[in-house]
C-alpha cells in the first residue's frame, strides 16, 4: 500500500542509508540530478567510462540509465553497468529521453529495456507511446500527450516485466497487475529542464530502499510532485522554482507528505 | 523595422509555436541554454550523436552549433546536422566560442561558417575579430575588446552572406547592408557563464519565427538585455542574477519591452 | 604566513589580473566551476580536445585536472595539457574525484600525480587515503572519513613533492614541512554537488597569483569556507546556499575575511 506513512518511511531509509546511485545520464541534467539526489539524502555518482562502469555499478545500490545525450560508447557502458547491476540484483531505472524523436533513441531505449529486465522505465507519455507504438515525435524531448494517452502502451510494456512510470499532470505507475495515479505536482515543473530526469534518479533512490518497484516509482513521483508544489508557492518563474525544489527536497517533513499526498490505486 | 511591437510579436510567435531548437553545444552551458529556451517558450533538444544529428535537425525549426568544448566527433555531427538544416532550409546559428584562443577553435569556426552559409554568427568582439584578422587571444573565452572594435571584422564576414551579432555593452547586428545597435543589458551579465551561449540559442529561437536574420538577431539580443536588466534589479551577485534572468524571460511582458527597448539602426 | 591580509592580497591579485584557468574537469561541475571562477574574478576556460589541450594550457596561468567523469581520451588530453603547463611552469592542481571507488580512478589519479609533479592535490579524506593506502571506497565520490584520518596519507604524498589539500569540516593543507588547518565552512556545503570541485578550481586561481602552493591552497579553502558560511546564513537548503555562495564570492570584502578567517599553522 502507498500512503503517507510508507512514503515517509522510504525517505527516512534514504536519509539514513545514503544509498549510492550510479548514474549514466545526459550532460544537460547531470548537475541537477546529483543535487536532487544529495538533497533527498542519497549519494550520487556519475561514471560512464567502459573501464569503470561495471565496477561502479557493483558498489552502487541502484543504477540509472538515461539516453538524453546518448552516443555509441556510452550505450556500451550502459550495457556493462546493467550487466553488473543485474548480477548484483540492484534495481535499474531507465529514462528513454526523446524516444520517438529519432530512430537511434527509440531503438536504443528498447534494446536497453530488453537487456535490463526487470526494471523501471520512467518517461513522459510521448516517450512511452513511442516505445510501443513506433510513433514518431515532432517535439524532441517534450511530451505532446497526456499521461492517460500512454496507459495502453504502458500496460503493454508492463506485460514484459517492466514497471512503467509515466509522468504528466497525473503520473501513472503501471505494473503487470497494478495501476497507481499520483496527482501531485505543478504546471510550472515542465518548464525546468531536467526535472523529469531528476524524477528518474529519485525513482532509483526509492528503489534502492523499497523492494516493490511499483511502490518505489509511486513514492518517487509523489515526493517529486510534493516538493514541486512547495517550490511553486512563492516562485517567480522556473529558475526560482528549481532552487526552491531542491531546498524543499532537503527540508521535506513527514507532515508535508501527510498534508499533500494525492495517490490512488485503481 | 525593429521596434517593441515587432520584438513582442516574435516572443508571442515563439510562445505559441514552441519551435524545436536543436543544439549541438558545449557541456558548460547545456543546462542554462535549455532553461533559457524553455523559459522563453521554445522547446530545446540536445543531440550530438552522428547516428541522430541529421534526423534531429530534420524535425527542428532551427539549429545551434556552439564550439565551446569542441572535439572531432562533435564537429562531424555538426556538419551532418548542418547539412540536414540546409536541406530543410531552417536557420543555423553558430557560436564561435573561444575563436582565437586556439588554432583548432578558429579553424573549426571558420570551416563551419563556410559550410553553413547563410547563417547567423553570434560571438563576442574578440571572437569575431579572430575569425577575420587571424588574431590570437590571450584570455580564453572572455572578450578583450569592445563590440565597436569588431565592426570592420563583422562587416567583412557579412560580405560572405553571414549576419553577425557581436555582443558587448552595446550589441552590434551586422548584415550586408544593415547595422543595428542594441544597448540593452547589464554589466554583471558577463560574470555569469553561458549567458553569451544562451544569447546564441535565443537567436535561433527568434530566427525560427522571423525570416529576417538581422531582425531575429536584434530581437534576441534585445530580449536578452531586457531580461538581464530586469534580473539585475535586486540581484546580489551573478548567481541570483542568473536565477532572476530565467524568471524574467518566463514572465516577460510586452510592456517590459516597450519601456526598456534600446535599438537603433544606423 | 597566512592571515587575513595575505588572503585578501591574493583575492585582489585575482580580481586585478583575471588569470586564465584552464579546466579539464567533469561534466557534472563544469558550470558551477566556471561560475565560481568568474565570481572570484578569474577567467575560466574548459577545453579537452587533444588538438587544443596543450595550446590552451600554454596561454593559461593555471591548469586544473579533475577526473570526476574521466575517460581514456580525456586522460590523454590531461597529459598533453600537463606537459604544456610544466613547460610553461604554471601550477597544476589535480582533483582525484572518486579515487578508491574504482581501480580506473585510483590508477589514473596516481599516474597524473606522478606525471605532473610538482602540483597541488585537492580531495576529500577518502580520496587521499585511497591514493596512498590502496583503500577501496564504498560510497562513490562522498567522503567516509574525517580529514584528520587522511593526515598520514597526505604526509606520505607530500614527501613526493606534492602539496595536499584535504577538505572536510577542518581542511588540512599538507606540505613537505608545513601543516595548516582551515576551520571555515558550513555543514550544508557537502550537500551541494561540485563545491569540492569548485574548491579545486579556486585553488588553481590562487596558485596563479601566489608562488607558495601551501599558501595558495590554504587561501582558497579559507575563501571557500568563508563564502560558504556567508551563504549559509539565510539559506533554506542546498540550492539557495549554492546561489548565495556564488554571490558571496563575487561580493567578498576584506572585512569578511578579517572577521571570519580561521587558519592555524601547526
* DSSP secondary structure, A232-259, as one string: HTT--SHHHHHHHHHHHHHH--HHHHHH
pLDDT at residue C240 tops 80: yes
Question: How far, in Å, CA of A62 to CA of B265, rounded?
Answer: 58
pLDDT tens, position by position, B137-183: 667 888 888 899 999 999 999 999 999 999 999 999 999 999 999 99
ipTM of the complex: 0.96
Residue appearing with cell numbers 549559509 = C232
pLDDT confidence of residue B66: 98
pLDDT confidence of residue C106: 96
List Cβ neighbours of A177 (8 Å cut-off, separation of 6 or more). none
pLDDT confidence of residue C18: 98
Asked whether C39 and C247 are in contact (CB, 8 A), the reply is yes
pLDDT confidence of residue A138: 61
Residue appearing with cell numbers 613537505 = C176
Could you tell me the pLDDT band of residue C138, with boundaries at 50, 70 and 90?
low
pLDDT at residue A2 tops 90: no
pLDDT at residue C266 tops 90: no
pLDDT confidence of residue B145: 87
pLDDT tens, position by position, B189-231: 999 999 999 999 999 999 999 999 999 999 999 999 999 999 9
pLDDT tens, position by position, A135-145: 776 678 888 88
Tell me if chain C has a CB within 8 Å of the CB of A261: no
Q: How many CA atoms lie within 13 A of B27 on its CB side?
A: 25
Interchain pair C238, A251: CB under 8 A? no
Alpha helices in C159-253, H assignment, sequence order: 195-209, 213-232, 238-251
Closest approach of chain B CAs to the CA of C256, in angstroms?
A: 16
Phi, psi dihedral angles at C63 (to 5 degrees): -125, 135
pLDDT confidence of residue A141: 81
Residue appearing with cell numbers 579539464 = C24
pLDDT at residue C134 tops 80: no
Interchain pair B137, C38: CB under 8 A? no
pLDDT confidence of residue A137: 65
Helix H, strand E, coil C: the string for B131-187 is: HHHCCCCCCCCCCCCCHHHHHHHHHHHHCCCEEEEEECCCEEEECCCCEEEECCCCC
Nearest C-alpha in B relative to A27: B27
Interchain pair A104, B38: CB under 8 A? no
Name chain B contacts of C18, Cβ cutoff 8 Å: 139, 142
Closest approach of chain A CAs to the CA of B3, in angstroms?
A: 26
Mean pLDDT, all residues of chain C: 96
Q: Write out residues 16-35 of A within 8 Å (CB-CB) of C.
A: 18, 20, 22, 27, 30-31, 34-35
Phi, psi dihedral angles at A192 (to 5 degrees): -105, 120
Interchain pair B139, C43: CB under 8 A? yes
Residue appearing with cell numbers 563583422 = B154
The range of the structural domain enclosing residue B36 comes to: 4-265
Task: Please give the average per-residue pLDDT across A75-88, as a whole number.
Answer: 98
Could you tell me the pLDDT band of residue C137, with boundaries at 50, 70 and 90?
low
Name chain B contacts of C47, Cβ cutoff 8 Å: 69, 98, 101-102
Q: Write out residues 123-182 of A within 8 Å (CB-CB) of C.
A: none
Name chain C contacts of B239, Cβ cutoff 8 Å: 35, 39, 242-247
Count of domains for chain C = 1
pLDDT tens, position by position, A147-205: 999 999 999 999 999 999 999 999 999 999 999 999 999 999 999 999 999 999 999 99
Mean pLDDT, all residues of chain A: 96
Domain harbouring C114, CATH code: 3.40.1190.20
Amino acid at each position: 500500500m502507498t500512503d503517507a506513512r510508507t512514503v515517509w518511511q522510504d525517505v527516512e531509509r534514504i536519509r539514513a542509508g545514503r544509498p549510492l546511485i550510479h548514474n549514466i545520464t545526459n550532460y544537460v541534467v547531470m548537475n541537477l540530478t546529483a543535487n536532487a539526489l544529495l538533497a533527498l539524502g542519497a549519494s550520487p555518482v556519475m561514471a560512464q567510462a567502459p573501464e569503470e562502469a561495471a565496477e561502479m555499478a557493483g558498489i552502487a545500490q541502484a543504477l540509472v540509465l538515461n539516453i538524453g545525450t546518448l552516443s555509441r560508447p556510452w550505450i556500451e557502458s550502459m550495457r556493462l553497468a546493467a550487466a553488473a547491476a543485474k548480477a548484483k540484483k540492484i534495481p535499474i531505472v531507465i529514462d528513454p529521453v526523446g524516444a520517438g524523436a529519432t530512430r537511434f533513441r527509440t531503438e536504443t531505449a528498447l534494446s536497453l529495456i530488453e537487456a535490463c529486465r526487470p526494471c523501471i522505465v520512467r518517461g513522459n507519455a510521448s516517450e512511452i507511446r513511442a516505445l510501443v507504438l513506433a510513433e514518431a515525435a515532432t517535439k524532441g524531448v517534450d511530451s505532446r500527450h497526456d499521461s492517460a494517452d500512454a496507459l495502453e502502451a504502458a500496460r503493454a510494456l508492463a506485460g514484459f516485466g517492466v514497471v512503467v512510470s509515466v509522468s504528466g499532470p497525473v503520473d501513472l505507475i503501471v505494473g503487470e497487475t497494478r495501476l497507481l495515479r499520483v496527482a501531485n505536482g505543478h504546471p510550472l515543473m515542465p518548464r525546468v529542464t531536467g526535472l523529469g530526469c531528476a524524477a528518474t534518479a529519485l525513482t532509483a533512490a526509492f528503489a534502492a530502499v523499497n523492494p516493490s518497484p511499483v511502490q518505489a516509482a509511486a513514492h518517487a513521483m509523489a515526493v517529486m510532485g510534493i516538493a514541486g508544489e512547495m517550490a511553486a508557492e512563492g516562485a517567480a518563474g522556473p529558475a526560482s522554482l528549481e532552487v526552491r525544489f531542491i531546498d524543499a527536497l532537503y527540508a521535506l517533513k513527514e507532515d508535508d507528505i501527510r498534508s499533500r499526498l494525492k495517490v490512488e490505486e485503481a
